Amino acid sequence: MLPITALYASLLAALVMVLAALVVAIRKGAKIGLGDAGNQALQVRIRAHANALENIPLALILLALAELNGLSPILLHLAGLSLLVARIAHAYGFLATQGQYSRGRFFGTLATWLVILGLALANFLLAMSHV
């Protein structure tokens, strides 16, 4: 069982669904079935959703592997919570500024990358200790 990964995967899935719903809301209102039809607000929402989908899966795979490999539950929660906060900060910063630079977007990206790199390093070290 992977209860810690399951917790953060569930919370992050909720975030992804919120971002998807924001895309659908504009699509429905503007009657845009495919693409963005040059609609700036739709472009921003599509990218916010896509960015989450580009980063969350790798982080969750690494979190699950770290949990399976026996990483401390405290470190797993630290990574999972950091990832969740980072992705919320990124999405909020990205949407609030319509894709422009923002502290939320910057720190969300930075924290996401640090979580991914930290989990990759932890998994590497855990794997090397069993070779």
Considering the chain, what is the average pLDDT of its residues? 97
Specify the number of domains making up the chain: 1
Per-residue pLDDT reduced to its tens digit, 104-121: 999 999 999 999 999 999
Residue-range definition of the domain harbouring residue 43: 3-128
Helix or strand holding residue 26 (H, E): helix 3-30
Residue 41 has pLDDT above 90, yes or no: yes
pLDDT band at 131 (very low <50, low <70, confident <90, very high): confident
Return contacts of 37-45, CB within 8 angstroms, 24+ apart.
Answer: 40/98, 41/98, 43/99, 44/94, 44/95, 44/98, 44/99, 45/19, 45/95
- Residue 57 — pLDDT band, cuts 50, 70, 90? very high
CATH of the domain at 38: 1.20.120.550
